[in-house]
Amino acid sequence: MTTWQIITIAPLVATALILLARPLRVRWRALHLSNSKLAASEAQLRMVLASSGCELWRFNVVEQQIDRENVLSHASERGLGASVRSEDLIAAIHPQDRMLFGDAMRAHVRGLTESFQAVYRMTSLNGEYIWLRSNGQIQRKDANGRVRVVSGTTVEVTHLKEKEQALEAANSSLNAQIEELKAARAHIVETEKRRKLALWGSGCEFFEANLLTEMITRENKTPGLAVNDLGDSTQEYWSYLHPDDIESYRAAFLAHLTGKTDFYDVSYRARRSDGGWCWVQTRGRGVAWDAEGRVTIISGTNYDISVLKNAETGLKHAAEELERRVESRTAALTRAISELRAAQSQLVNSEKMAALGNLVAGVAHEINTPLGISVTAASHLGEISQRLSKQLANGQLKKSELDAFAEQSQSAVELVMTNLRRASELVKSFKQVAVDQSSEQRRVIELKPYLQEILNSLRPSTKRFPQAIMIDAQEGIHWDCYPGALYQITSNLVLNALNHAFAADIPPVVSPTTGLPEIGAIKITAWAGANEISLSISDNGCGMDADTAKRIFEPFFTTKRGLGGSGLGLHIVFNLVNTVFGGTISVETSPGKGSRFLIRVRAV
């Protein structure tokens, strides 16, 4: 190029360079300003992170690398710095939380969740666990839509977690208290139901008399009283007492009001709805007092004892007759008693089991059993008679009800007569009872019907139990034996099973397939062999352990000491089987498997 050409082109090049340099300067200034703002923003972000205690992280999914800023102190203590591999970070997480953390991250990377969230524990160098909460979102994907970068924050929430756990514990405690209150309320309701059921089952009437208002509240009223149809005034109630008994009632009542007795217990006659009189026993005591210590409210029970009074009268006449006979036979009875006492002393010293069996079985059980059955049957007869009288008075009597009454009364009379004759025979043969264990004469019985007759006579005692009693006896077994002893053996074993084998608050359980009781059943089985008769009485109750099974036939051994058990029932059975029948008795039992008593005697 020539000099002239250079001189001509140089200004143009200079002008072009000046024109190109101006936008570059503008861009440089803008870039410098942007970098300054970015540095300020980063400084501000670091300040915010430092003041909030929050860690900022960036997870490179492809390289499995995590870049962190404002690293939390627990992480730095463990050597987890600003850049860490994902497996190293996960290794520091509590073993129980690792799967939760990994599942949450994988779900977010796969696009199943809008954000990543995880609360987990991480250990520090001193071995303590701290709680962390991490939140993040996808920041970048590749051209194929695969996630490349996830960013988020991590903050320590140990204090919040402790508060949360404390709140959960408080809620749990509150819920437990609520449940306890519900259980207590349910228990109160159930107790009230049981109280009413017990009151109904016992036949007692509960009353509460307010002496200030002279009003009386009665629950489960005694049936048949004329006062039942009147109001609730105490004066009205007293007006229906027998005139000859008012003074004794008033005296007992005033004695309690003046503090002379802890309670009052009085028997008296009250007017029935049919115009007659029935005997009532009242037991009551003060339950509330005023400021001066005077009784204001009295609570107690009324109980119809007409049957007992009638039996008492009958027993009194029988006792008078017996006393006259005793006076004429004083010498013979004195000699017999002396012999009996001598025999008793000898047996107690030499063979305690046999002596107690003879004495208790002969006197206490054999006499009380028929008399008790007679009183029960008479009580039943009185109840159905009273019901019939009421229906007759109301004009509601039907022929079917009259027929049923005739049938039931005939059965009751036959039962009373049968057992009174048995009692009479026992009294006459007292000495023989002590030796032979039975007052009945030996006779031939058909075993299965007689076993059913025993259960019928025991119904007043067994009807309060829910358990089923079944008989599975071979037909046509005729046995020459002592029926009284057989009755005593069977009744003792059945009642023993009812009282000991089953818990009172557990009802029977019936099989849905067979319809037979799986729990809560007693089975009486009898069969005849070539030379012997076998009787089995079994239950599917709680059973006995080996130590108890070894001692059950010992006198005075019982598992219900203080609850009504005397410990003589099975001892009496053992003596009757061995001495009267000349047989053997054994027991098969184990805890939870029930018990089975097997009796084997020679067939005669």
Average pLDDT across each block of 10 residues of the chain; the chain has 604 residues. List them in order. Answer: 65 68 67 62 55 80 87 62 83 88 89 90 76 90 88 86 82 85 83 75 82 84 74 74 88 88 89 85 89 88 85 84 80 66 44 40 58 83 85 81 84 84 59 41 86 81 82 91 85 88 67 64 91 92 89 80 65 86 92 92 81
pLDDT at 592: 86
Q: Backbone phi, then psi, for 297, in 5-degree steps?
A: -135, 135
Q: Where are any strands of DSSP class E within 146-235? A: 147-156, 205-210, 215-219
How far is residue 198's CA from residue 204's CA, in Å, rounded to a whole number?
Answer: 9
pLDDT at 471: 92
In b/e form, how buried is each residue of 252-282, taking b as 16+ CB within 10 angstroms? bbeebeeeeeeebebbbbbbbbeeebbbbbb
pLDDT at 394: 84
Within 463-592, residue ranges assigned H as helices are 483-500, 546-551, 569-575
The tokens of 523 are what? 């089975």
- Beta carbons within 8 Å of 528's beta carbon, 6+ residues apart: 474, 477, 534, 603
Rg of the Cα atoms in the chain: 48
The tokens of 350 are what? 């030499």
pLDDT at 359: 39
The tokens of 57 are what? 């992280």
Strands 521-528 and 468-473: parallel
Separation in Å, CA 212 to CA 215, 233, 246, 390: 8, 11, 21, 35
How far is residue 577's CA from residue 530's CA, in Å, rounded to a whole number?
Answer: 19
How far is residue 472's CA from residue 475's CA, in Å, rounded to a whole number?
Answer: 9
How far is residue 213's CA from residue 231's CA, in Å, rounded to a whole number?
Answer: 13
Cα atoms in the Cβ-side hemisphere of radius 13 Å centred on 554:
10
Strands across the sheet with 147-156, in order? 83-85, 65-69, 54-60, 147-156, 129-141, 116-123
CB-based contact 461:499 (threshold 8 Å):
no
Q: Give the other-Cβ count within 10 Å of 309's Cβ.
A: 16
pLDDT at 231: 61
pLDDT at 429: 43
| Helix (H) / strand (E) containing 176 | helix 158-202
The tokens of 507 are what? 């009802």
How far is residue 38's CA from residue 269's CA, in Å, rounded to a whole number?
Answer: 109
- Looking at the whole model, is its pTM more than 0.85? no
In b/e form, how buried is each residue of 151-170, taking b as 16+ CB within 10 angstroms? ebbbbbeeeebeeeeeeeee
pLDDT at 524: 94
Amino acid in position 246? I
How far is residue 116's CA from residue 113's CA, in Å, rounded to a whole number?
Answer: 7
pLDDT at 20: 65
DSSP secondary structure letter of residue 441: P
